[in-house]
Amino acid sequence: MREELEVIINSCFNKGEACLSFVQWNEVLNEVNDDYTVCYLIDTVHYYMAYYCNSAINLSLVLYENKKAIAVFPLFAYKNSDGWILSSNGVFIFEPLFITNITVNKRKRLEKKIMDMIIKLSKQLDIKINKFSTQFNKISSWYLLWLEVANNELVNHYLVVDLDSSIEFIKSNFRKSYKPLITKAIREWNISICMDNIYNVFEDFRVLHGEVSGKVTRSLDSWEIQRRQIINNEAFLVTVRDANENLVGGGLFTFTRKIGVYSVGVYRRESFHLPIGHGVQFKAIEHLKALGCKWYEIGQRQYLIDMYPPTEKELSISHFKKGFATDYFVRPFLMVKMV
């Protein structure tokens, strides 16, 4: 299947205009001023490829103008029980990310070519509907392009922390009941950022996740990629230890220059009723602020009226996260039928 998809992609661009590789990917990111999310990191694409294992096909592109890399476009195809899906993050297709000062005409020309490519890829993969979204702080020209042919537009709500604010202001926005719980967590456990012995500490975190889950939730390769992100300074691990230095919980957080994301959390079942998670969130907020990030995306605020109604557990987790947020962001998304 990969060969057929590559033929389609190459037919949509002029020679030298697009490359199915990560060569010069980071050079583009270094020339972007926008607050891009973690789905544009190379290792995030690798993570999704490992997460979806054998069915995943990496279709990510670097785009060129006169041999200069000017944009990146994270995209992969994977297959589930319902058939093939095209995505940038497992759910949505996000916009290509262009370097700063690119002309409007160049951007629109390449966006239309990518649009044509997605329509052709969808036909090859027998995809009936694609979902398109955009980043938090703007409606992109890419999104508007698809809006003209969309069949439905909906929104998701996300909980964020404004890290440009003072730590005192951020704390003042916490749910009132959380403040003493954070104080208790910091007093009773050793909550710290993992800086040394990363391989072994992360392995303990992975094993704990499996013990709490009661099953293998994803491949070893996907965990290895996240460990590599810590080493490459794209993620950090907050660990929680008791008085005997036993690992009782922790959280993994991924970040770009401006945006941090809560990726994975795990806590021993016997500690579920304790405020360990409160301490982890506060430590992560402090660290992301110190790293110079502008926003911390805690996660989606879910409601019963969402397109996919959440479970009681998901609503409970959403309610927990809400207690730390300073702001809500709305991320619109489109449902587009492929013809």
The reported pTM is: 0.93
Residue 103 CA to residue 275 CA, distance in Å, equals 50
State which amino acid sits at residue 322: K
Residue 87 has pLDDT above 90, yes or no: yes
Q: What is the mean pLDDT of residues 206-217?
A: 90
Average pLDDT, the chain: 94
List, in order of start, the domains of the chain with CATH numbers. 2-149 (3.40.630), 159-331 (3.40.630.30)
Those residues whose C-beta lies under 8 Å from the C-beta of residue 115, and which sit 6 or more positions away, are 145, 146
Residue 205 is encoded by which pair of tokens?
């975190």
| Residue whose pair of structure tokens reads 């909550």 in the numeric block | 191
pLDDT tens track for 138-154: 788 999 999 999 999 99
Report the interhelical angle of 42-51 vs 220-231 (nearest 10°).
Answer: 160
How confident is residue 271, by pLDDT bands cut at 50, 70 and 90?
confident
Evaluate whether 59 touches 16 at the Cβ level (below 8 Å): no
Stretch (H or E) spanning 328: strand 327-337
pLDDT tens track for 6-47: 999 999 999 999 999 999 999 999 999 878 999 999 999 999
CA 260 to chain centre: 9
Give, in order, the Cα–Cα distances in Å from 300 to each of 77, 101, 288.
24, 32, 19
